[in-house]
Amino acid sequence: MENDEFSKELNVAVRVVHMACSLCEKVQKQLISTNSDQVRSKDDHSLVTVADWSVQATVSWMLAKALGSHISIVAEEDTESLSRPESSSLLARVVDVVNECLAEATRFGLQGPVSALSASQVLDAISRCSSIGGRTGRHWVLDPVDGTLGFVRGDQYAIALAMIDGGDVKIGVLGCPNYPVKDDGLKKYSQQNLILSNKPSGEVGCVMYTRKDSRKAWMQPLIHRDEMLEWPNSAKLIRVSSISNPALATFCEPVEKSNSDHSFAAGVACNVGLRKKPLRVYSMVKYAAIARGEAEIYMRFASSSYKEKIWDHAAGVLLVQEAGGVVTDSGGHPLDFSKGIYLEGLDRGIIACSGHQLHEKLIGAVYASWESSNL
């Protein structure tokens, strides 16, 4: 892909997400073993950890270093609570984690800072990610830790980085530190195994990535310890499943009922002829599972008052599409990433499928089930 458009940006993005995965693995291990104060509650009662701020600061700093300080970044976290006097110890921890990660930049084929960043520089890097996106220009979109609840529980989570140019998603990179590289990993690896075992190098944890119109998607294992990232030599092509029979299809949905109407999804599943129990997974790992052929369907039906954010979908949507799948809203319309930080005009929900046949059947089932919905 060396001569393709956006090859430099993709190269940098993949390496930066590998760095972020390494950072998250260390923080998660500490978080689970110590049950410390590294978790705070945000105003919307969701969870934010040292990892969220540290990943955002690291990715922001590295993208600016590699691509220029003029870049526009749309990301989830801000510095309001982290800047308060009572958060001084938390900020100090974030600064330490960021500098520890940046010090290893050469291992990922990137150039880190000459000297350690100060607290103000770390806060500036986080605050730099305040763009609102839109149809004009180029914007990087980051969810530093997608599936924070999965992260703090030692379960699935993802680092999601995408690039939008002229309103279209051009690059998508998903880092999935707890997602086994081998097929059927979500089904075979329990949460307990992920938490308690020492994850074998090359067997658990991967980064998936793609570029718009490449019609290809790649996956490579995370590097661990003192290994050096060999990109793209360690990558292999991934492809969506060829299953088109609903009775054989595996269906993914969010773990928490607050994130999606499980009962409505169950009705759609029944109407379309799905027979397997839903695979409930935290984070955009659901998109990753479809892209590499481990699952065929992802349905998400949030309440009508909820507004979907672009950082929760951009990287995963492109990954599924370029791996051969289909992603639309529940009315069959393409998702529009050009309206700012929200997916405006979304029709009822989001449906991702491994192929057009399944997708058409699901859209029909949504319409058939809609009158009984309480959304």
Residues annotated as catalytic (active site), given as ranges? 52, 148
User: How far, in Å, CA of 366 to CA of 42, rounded?
Assistant: 34
State residue 326 phi and psi, 5-degree precision: -130, 135
Residue linked to tokens 């990993």: 185
User: How far, in Å, CA of 29 to CA of 293, rounded?
Assistant: 29
User: How far, in Å, CA of 366 to CA of 171, rounded?
Assistant: 30
Which amino acids are annotated as binding site for Mg(2+), given as ranges?
76, 143, 146, 312
User: How far, in Å, CA of 149 to CA of 130, rounded?
Assistant: 24
Query: Running DSSP on this structure, what letter comes out for residue 332?
Result: S
Which run of H or of E encompasses 13? helix 7-34
- In the chain, the DSSP E strands lie at 39-41, 47-49, 72-75, 138-146, 158-165, 168-180, 204-211, 217-221, 236-238, 251-253, 279-280, 297-300, 326-329, 350-353
State residue 317 phi and psi, 5-degree precision: -60, -50
State residue 82 phi and psi, 5-degree precision: -70, -25
- Whether cis (ω within 30° of 0) applies to the bond prior to 246 is no
State residue 363 phi and psi, 5-degree precision: -60, -45
Q: Are 171 and 211 in contact (CB under 8 A)?
A: yes
Query: Running DSSP on this structure, what letter comes out for residue 231?
Result: T
User: How far, in Å, CA of 60 to CA of 65, rounded?
Assistant: 9
- Residue 33 contacts by C-beta under 8 Å, 6 or more apart in sequence? none
- Residue 327 contacts by C-beta under 8 Å, 6 or more apart in sequence? 317, 320, 321, 335, 350, 351, 352, 353
20: buried, middle or exposed (CB in 10 Å: 19+, 13-18, 0-12)?
buried
**Residue 80 identity (one-letter amino acid):** E
Which amino acids are annotated as binding site, given as ranges?
76, 143, 146, 312
